[in-house]
Amino acid sequence: MKRKHILWAAFASLLCVACVEDEGSNHMVPINELEVEGIEENYTKVGYQEKLEIEVTLKGSLSGADENAFDFQWFLCNRGTDESSHRHQVIATTKDLVFPLEVPSGYYTLYFRATDKATGMQWEKHTQLQVTSAFVRGFYLWGDKEDGSCGMDFISMIENKDTTVIEDIFTNPTGMKHAKNLVFTGNRSDVLTSFWAFSEGEFHSVEHQSALREFGILPDERIDKIIYPTIEVNNPTYDLVDIYPHAYGKLNTCTSSNWRVLLTEGDIFCCTNMIGGEGYANPINRLNSSSKDLYQPAPYVFHPNASYISSAAYYDNTDHCFTVHNAATYALSHTVKCGDTSGTPFYFDQTKYDPVRDLVYGENADANSYALMKDANGGYFIYKFAVQRYGANGVKKVSAATIDKKVATDFDKATHYTFFAKQPVILYAVGTHLYAYNYNLNLLKEVENPDGGEITYLAMDFASNETPTDFIFATYREAEKGTVYKYTIEDNQNTIEVKPHDDYETESYPWRTKLKVKKIEYRNSPI
C-alpha cells in the first residue's frame, strides 16, 4: 500500500469503539461517539467567483450538540495521482465552512475532521468538490478604462448558472492604451489556438487558459519571431491589424486546419502549414511570386464563414481592385486580381468606375462576403460575393446595391457597420443612433437604444447561439459607463423587425461594464 493511502486510511470515518480503558483506574470510560451531518456527497462550484458554504450538524453520544467539546479542521486535497503532485492543505478550523474558491478549476477531495478535546479521538467525513472555470464560455469585453488604459471584462455564461460579468481580468503589464481589436483564433488544435489583443501601437499574445483568474501577456510569443521575409516589406514593424480566420460557431472551431493569415498595417503574411509550426515568409500582397512590388492591402480578409475554408480574398488599395490567393495553400506565394468577365452585377476592378470606388468596410457572413464601397462623390455601394476557391475566377459575384442616402439617414456619418445576411439589411451606428437599412426595399428603421449612450461597438453574433439573426452592441455614458445589449432581427422579407433577445431577460441583463467597449469576442473552450 502506498504511503498516501496509509495516511488517509488513518483518518477513520468513524472509530468503531464505544469506550476506552482508563489505565489509572482500570475502568472503562465511555467514548463520546459523534454523528456528523450536513455534508453532501459532492459539490460543484465556480472558481474565483463563488464560495463553498457547508453548515455541519453534530450529535455526540455524551456531548449532544455541544461543539465546544471538539476541535475542527477542513482539508482540501487536489486528488493527485502520485506522491509528487498530491497536495492537501488546511483551509478552515471552524465547524462550519465558508471557503472562497480562490483555486484553479479541477477536481478536489474535501475532508472534515472533528477531534474530541478530552480523549483525542477523531471522526472524519469527506466529499468531492468540482471547481469549474468561469471563463469557459461567454464574451470577452475589450475596451478603455477612464484613463484610456486597456481593460478586459468577461460575460460568463456557464451552463445552469446565472450569467455574470467578471470585471478587470487583464493585468495589462505593458500599460496598453486605447483598445482596438481582440481575436480568439479557435480551438481545432493547440497549435491553432491563440488570443491576441490590439491597442494603439501595441499588440500582444494574451494568456487564455480557463483555469486562470487573470490574464497577462505572453512575452515570448512575438510576431517578429515568426516572420522571415527575404524582401523589403511595407511595414517592417509588423503592426498587426487582424488575424484570420477567426473562430467559427458556438464551439469556436478554427476554420482552417493548416493555414493562417496575419494582416499588418501594410502587408499580408500567410502560413500555409500550421501543422509544421507557425512561420511566415514573404508577404503575399504582390501580383506574382517574383515581384518585390507590394500593394497596400485594406484591413479586411474575405472568406466564407464555414466549418472549413480553403482560400481568401483581399482588397488592393494601390490598384483599387479585389485579389485572391493564386493557388492552393501548399503553393501559395502571391495573390492575383479577380477576373472580370463582365460588369454584372459589379466590377472587381474599381478603376472601371468614374469616380473610382474604394473599400470602406468588409465582413464575412454565412457563405458570402460583403464589401461596403465609397466613391469620391460620396456614393455608397454594397457588393455581395463568395470566395469559392483560389485563382482569378475563384470568387463568384452575387449582387450589388446602391445606398440611397436620402432614406439612409446620416449614412455618411456612420462609425460602425454590420450585415444581416438573411436579408439585404445593413445595420449602422451614428453617435447614439442605431439604424437598420434594407437596401433592396429602400426601407430604414431606427433601432431602440435603451440608454441613449454613444454606440461604441456593433456586430452580428452568429457564434454564441449559431443564430444568424442575432446582433450585439455596446454603449457608453460618462456617468453609467458601458452597457452591452443583445438583439435579434426577424427574418422577414417585407419589413424590418428588431427586438431585444428573449434569452437574456435575466437579473444581470443588460450587461454592465466600466469599459468603453471596442471589441466583443465570443469564447467557448475548456482549454
Contact between 485 and 427 under an 8 Å Cβ cutoff? The reply is no
**Residue 59 is part of a domain; what is its CATH number?**
2.60.40.10
Contact between 170 and 236 under an 8 Å Cβ cutoff? The reply is no
In a domain, 285, yes or no: no
Q: Which of 188, 136, 44 is nearest to 527 (CA)?
A: 136
In a domain, 157, yes or no: no
Residue 65 lies in domain: 3-132
Phi, psi of 377 (to 5 degrees): -85, 0
Which residues 6+ apart lie within 8 Å of 392 measured at CB? 324, 336, 337, 338, 339
Q: Which of 271, 195, 193, 197 is nearest to 227 (CA)?
A: 271
**pLDDT tens sequence for the chain (527 residues):** 333 333 333 333 333 334 444 455 555 556 778 889 999 999 999 998 899 999 999 987 777 778 888 999 999 998 653 445 556 789 999 999 999 999 888 899 999 999 988 888 898 999 999 999 999 999 999 999 999 999 999 999 987 788 899 999 999 999 999 999 999 887 665 556 789 999 999 999 999 988 899 999 999 888 999 999 999 999 999 999 999 888 888 888 776 767 889 999 999 999 988 777 788 999 999 999 999 999 999 999 999 877 677 899 999 999 999 999 999 888 999 999 999 988 899 999 999 999 999 999 999 988 899 999 999 999 999 999 999 999 999 999 999 999 999 999 999 999 999 999 999 999 999 999 999 999 999 999 999 999 999 999 999 998 888 889 999 999 999 999 999 999 999 999 899 999 988 877 677 899 999 999 999 999 998 87
Eight-state DSSP code of residue 319: T
Q: Return the pLDDT at 81.
A: 39
Contact between 313 and 324 under an 8 Å Cβ cutoff? The reply is yes
Q: Return the pLDDT at 286.
A: 98
C-alpha cell at position 290: 517574383
Calculate Rg over the CA atoms of the chain: 30
In a domain, 401, yes or no: no
What's the number of domains the chain is made of? 1
Q: Return the pLDDT at 160.
A: 75
Q: Return the pLDDT at 248.
A: 81
**Rounded distance, CA 44 to CA 159, Å?**
12
In a domain, 213, yes or no: no
In a domain, 461, yes or no: no
Contact between 412 and 430 under an 8 Å Cβ cutoff? The reply is no
Cell 498587426 found at: 240
Contact between 102 and 118 under an 8 Å Cβ cutoff? The reply is no
CB neighbours of residue 99 within 10 Å: 18
In a domain, 182, yes or no: no
In a domain, 344, yes or no: no
**pTM of the complete model:** 0.87
In a domain, 257, yes or no: no
Q: Which of 482, 427, 437, 419 is nearest to 456 (CA)?
A: 482
List C-alpha distances in Å: 226 to 55, 220, 235, 246, 475.
Answer: 55, 11, 15, 19, 37
